Structure 1
Amino acid sequence: MVQKPIKEQKMVLIILLSNIFIAFLGIGLIIPVMPSFMNIMHLSGSTMGYLVAVFAVAQLITSPFAGRWVDRYGRKKIITFGLFLFAVSELIFGLGTHVSVLYFARILGGMSAAFIMPGVTAYVADITTIKERPKAMGYVSAAISTGFIIGPGIGGFIAEFGIRLPFFFAAGIAFLACILSLFILKEPLTKEQMEELSSNSKQSNFFGDLKRSFNPLYFIAFIIVFVLAFGLSAYETVFSLFSDHKFGFTPKDIALIITISSIFGVVFQVFMFGKMVDKLGEKKLIQICLITGVILAAASTVISGFWMVLLVTCLIFLAFDLLRPALTTFLSRSAGKEQGFVAGMNSTYTSLGNIAGPAAAGILFDLNIHYPYLFAAVIMFIGLSITFMWREKQFAENVAD
């Protein structure tokens, strides 16, 4: 395991960051074309919700295995396999003419995300010094955000030349990343290190951890995690469908709104998040973001016009962008000696919310296009109510025991 300064490993880091960027770019690419795709294939809103949810289900189920395989088989193999799987899933989705094929493609996509994420983060941790690791992990996080931001924009513009083209483009760049990784990346671990890691990694009992999370003091925190993921994913899933059905926005319009809103959110997060946490504390910031989310989700049903939609979307995306890191920071700070358990359960409850939210939003969209937004507002209001039951000192003491 060679740990060198970042300056000496630029090429390897660029390849690793490109891999994670491409995976999230591919996920973002398809957002603005989904309404048109839905119309062409005569799909219902509930089907679109299930297509988003099935990706999260596959990722949730595959993640525990992927984490262990990264140690057992090595970082490079898992990363390249994940990229190959991602390319195949995008290609199948682009070619799909029957809904069952689309589901299969989304399952492969969710599995690929479960392989790429731990592979890249473990590789980056292996090759960086402890001092430079936070900086390198910051780069990984930035690559994910940038992929999400640029993805819808590129997808919207490529779709002008053909509605299936964004999927083929995503497949092409993923295959390219897979080939580059195969030839340029070297496995950072020796065979002995892999065997040692594999034997050391206790097969953590997922169901045991889940049972522990029902402890009343943990449970309130994790229920908030679930409620937020549920509400946010419900809102985000139907955004492009809502904009298409209600306002007749084109993929290009939707791409523009999502791209501008995402850039606004990320810039604000980078420059203001730390200052806001220092001034307000995580709990108060979470509550302010939730109040904003409730009001704007409800307002989304009555506004009209491109500029008004852009303004409300910018503000609601900003609330979401501040909410996620505030909640993660709060949990991490309160976790005491139980960082692994709390981080694992944070991820699990987020995934469960990401599965249930889009599925519920899709079903409600078929009943009335305003229902998913009103439902998201209600869910976030429930989350807000629960935060007032949250005793952070008690939680921290309990975890430290």
Structure 2
Amino acid sequence: MKKTIKEQKTVLFILLSNIFIAFLGIGLIIPVMPSFINVMHLSGKTMGYLVAAFALAQLIMSPIAGRWVDRYGRKKIIIIGLFLFGIAELIFGLGTHVSILYLSRILGGFSAAFIMPAVTAYVADITSVKERPKAMGYISAAISIGFIIGPGIGGFIGEYGIRMPFFFAAAIAFIACILSTFILKESLTKEQLAEISANAKQTNFFSDLKRSIHPIYIIAFILVFVLAFGLSAYETVFSLFSDHKFGFTPKDIAIIITISSIFGVVVQIFLFGKMVDKLGEKKLIQLCLIVGAVFAVASTVISSFLAVLVVTCFVFLAFDLLRPALTTFLSRAAGKEQGFVAGMNSTYTSLGNIAGPAIGGILFDININYPYLFAAVIMVVGLGITVVWKEKQLTEKLAK
């Protein structure tokens, strides 16, 4: 019988810390990028490409990492991912040319591809079906804290030097790597891993994508893409938007994102389960897409600091509630293929994180409001997709 979440606090804390660190790296770059742009004469398009480079590397490595998680074990892949992340952040902190920055983001993408599916599969291994939604909610909260509070941390630490946030990230990554090495135990035995590996077909990226089109998975995966696309397009240009339109300092930006992230995570941890029970996953997802689209449009017509704070809180909250609903559904659908599904979840997230920042950066150079309007359109498209999501039918298939 599997232990309860309360009985595995230490292990869960280490796992959640690891995934927090991975997603911290995605957002950490954002508040200091206006300064980088000024010093290195970069454009909004280049900023978008730097964020997209991280996601592209994650996309390429995710299916491979998902298979390795099932073949070699969760712990080994987590440790490798953390070590790569530390190296990536150290390189970025030392980089003086844009090519070095790209190299850093690529290595960072590889590290995220290792960490995300390994942690998700590990948590699925050690939790019961009953407690898994709660555990996935914790993972989503850790992702949200890392991805959304990353710019906040970067902004505060950036007060001590533009490169300090990256040295800080490298240090905590190496510490987490050491702690994981000594504290974590492999969640499955060698025999269990061998059985999963033997049952899994030898596949490549394209065959994995083909498998992901299965009716049980595809709508949820498309919504994962929409979530990543909309949030990354919105967040990538947030610091530039705030700097250019309102004259906000990195510290102002850090305050807004930090408060917004805390608001979202608190609601996520304490109310997510109740909202799913009352509304169901599908209705909750639809509500979040509507709220996200409305407030993304509102972002283009406000001007005061307080208004920006309120709007940002609700945009991030919408995304914070979307993620665990989708992750929980995919985990239930995965069965014994936790590594594959977690890897493809990471793949579709990467696809969104590639397209969102790249297009958002280009649109920003054309018109400062276009990235937010574009994010709103994408969320409306996602809402349309949910109309054809036969959730009950899929649930019945899972029960068979």
Same fold (TM over 0.5): yes
Partner of 2:56: 57
| Residue 212 (structure 1) shift | 5.5
Cα distance per residue 1:105-161 (max 9 Å; x no partner): 111001111122333344555566778766665554444444445533332221111
Task: Give the Cα–Cα distance (whole angstroms) in 2 for the partners of residues 51 and 41 of structure 1.
Answer: 13
| Residue 183 (structure 1) shift | 4.5
| Residue 309 (structure 1) shift | 0.5
Task: Give the Cα–Cα distance (whole angstroms) in 1 for the partners of residues 366 and 24 of structure 2.
Answer: 31
Aligned partner of residue 237 in structure 2, secondary structure = helix
Q: Which segment is superposed worse, 270-279 or 155-164?
A: 270-279
Partner of 1:281: 280
| Residue 99 (structure 1) shift | 1.4
What is the percent sequence identity of the aligned residues?
Answer: 80
Q: Which amino acid aligns with 2:108?
A: G
Say if 2:316 is the partner of 1:317.
yes
Aligned partner of residue 252 in structure 1, secondary structure = helix
| Residue 59 (structure 1) shift | 1.2
Alignment of 1:350-389 (within 5 A): 350-389=349-388
RMSD: 3.5
Cα distance per residue 1:349-398 (max 9 Å; x no partner): 33322211111101111111111111112222222233334444455567
Q: Which segment is superposed worse, 142-151 or 74-83?
A: 142-151
Return closer, same or farther for 1:220/1:29 CA change in 2, 3 Å cut-off: closer
Alignment of 1:231-246 (within 5 A): 231-246=230-245
| Residue 84 (structure 1) shift | 1.4
Partner of 2:253: 254
Question: Is 2:45–2:365's contact at 8 Å kept on the other side of the alignment?
Answer: yes
Return closer, same or farther for 1:3/1:170 CA change in 2, 3 Å cut-off: same
TM-score scaled to structure 2, two decimals? 0.84
Question: Is 1:338–1:399's contact at 8 Å kept on the other side of the alignment?
Answer: no
Alignment of 1:321-336 (within 5 A): 321-329=320-328
Partner of 2:169: 170
Say if 2:292 is the partner of 1:293.
yes
Q: Which segment is superposed worse, 76-85 or 221-230?
A: 221-230
Question: Is 2:137–2:268's contact at 8 Å kept on the other side of the alignment?
Answer: no
Q: Which amino acid aligns with 1:107?
A: I
Return closer, same or farther for 1:159/1:78 CA change in 2, 3 Å cut-off: same
Task: Give the Cα–Cα distance (whole angstroms) in 2 for the partners of residues 56 and 271 of structure 1.
Answer: 30
Task: Give the Cα–Cα distance (whole angstroms) in 2 for the partners of residues 13 and 221 of structure 1.
Answer: 25
Partner of 2:29: 30
Return closer, same or farther for 1:189/1:222 CA change in 2, 3 Å cut-off: closer
Q: Which segment is superposed worse, 120-129 or 177-186?
A: 120-129
Q: Which segment is superposed worse, 155-164 or 343-352?
A: 343-352
Larger Rg: 1
TM-score scaled to structure 1, two decimals? 0.84
Aligned partner of residue 21 in structure 1, secondary structure = helix
Cα distance per residue 1:319-362 (max 9 Å; x no partner): 222233344456667x5989868766554333322211111101
Question: Is 1:53–1:356's contact at 8 Å kept on the other side of the alignment?
Answer: yes
Partner of 1:44: 43
Return closer, same or farther for 1:146/1:234 CA change in 2, 3 Å cut-off: closer
Return closer, same or farther for 1:106/1:330 CA change in 2, 3 Å cut-off: same
Task: Give the Cα–Cα distance (whole angstroms) in 2 for the partners of residues 69 and 313 of structure 1.
Answer: 38
Q: Which amino acid aligns with 1:355?
A: I
Q: Which amino acid aligns with 2:179?
A: L
What runs of 5+ residues in structure 1 fail to find an aligned partner?
none
Q: Which amino acid aligns with 2:67?
A: R
Aligned positions, number: 399
Q: Which amino acid aligns with 2:291?
A: T
Question: Is 2:138–2:269's contact at 8 Å kept on the other side of the alignment?
Answer: no
